[in-house]
Amino acid sequence: MNKADDLPAKRQYMNLLFDFYGSLLTKKQAECFTLRYVDDYSLAEIAQELGISPQAVVDFLKRGITSLEQYETHLNLVRKHHKRQALSDCIIVNLNHVKQSMLQASVADIYNSFENIKNLVADINQVEY
């Protein structure tokens, strides 16, 4: 593995892929992945823990990551998750705006916020599974 694998964004993305598709990996791939990306073990520590060579760890990780990325390419569950999350965040912003508008008694603002929320909920329902 190289230093790019230790970047927080990469690690977070890998863990998200694993959350969605980890059960589809082989047992060894999942063990290596968990020890590397969740428990932050070094390659040598993983090899020692599992009683395999460091090269075998690298191979299991590479194959596991390739599988996770292929699943995402075909199923797009992580992309859809991010889209739903962004839409949900927009709904929360609009609900907070409604709350503020109610305190200021602006009926037009409240109506517009409800329309925005209705459209966002419709957008969430349109995200394919």
- pLDDT by residue (tens digit) across 89-109? 888 887 887 777 777 766 777
Q: What is the mean pLDDT of the chain?
A: 87
CA dihedral 96→99→101→102, nearest 10 degrees, is: 170
Q: Which residue has the tokens 């949900």?
A: 88
Would you say residue 1 has pLDDT above 50?
no
CB atoms within 10 A of CB 99: 11
Domain covering 3-75 in this structure, CATH number:
1.10.10.10
pLDDT at 43: 96
Q: Out of 23-37, 48-62, 95-109, pick the least confident.
A: 95-109
What pLDDT is recorded for position 94?
79
Give percent of the chain with pLDDT exceeding 70: 92
